[in-house]
Amino acid sequence: MPDTKSDHEVQVVEVDREEGREILDRAAREALNLSADEFLAKWDAGDYEDADDPAVTRVAMLIPFAR
């Protein structure tokens, strides 16, 4: 097996719930023109259950940072 090396340095930044909520809010506003609260209410109501919209997926992936 070849020896692999990477010149890329990985930086990890931890965020708390408040910062995660701000990230979700910003993403939801940019992608869907909704606040984080509006997006989460629709998400919890199942409004996006069959959504094939990549914008919804991108925002939904941020939910664990906000809850």
Residue 41 lies in a domain: yes
Instruction: Please state the domain count of the chain.
Output: 1
**pLDDT value of position 7:** 72
Residue 9 lies in a domain: no
Mean pLDDT of 48-53: 94
Residue 10 or residue 4, greater confidence: 10
pLDDT of residue 15 exceeding 70: yes
Residue 3 lies in a domain: no
Domain that holds residue 38: 17-66
pLDDT of residue 18 exceeding 80: yes
Mean pLDDT of 8-28: 94
| CA distances from residue 49 to 43, 61, 64, 65 in whole angstroms, order as listed | 8, 14, 17, 20
pTM for this entry:
0.81
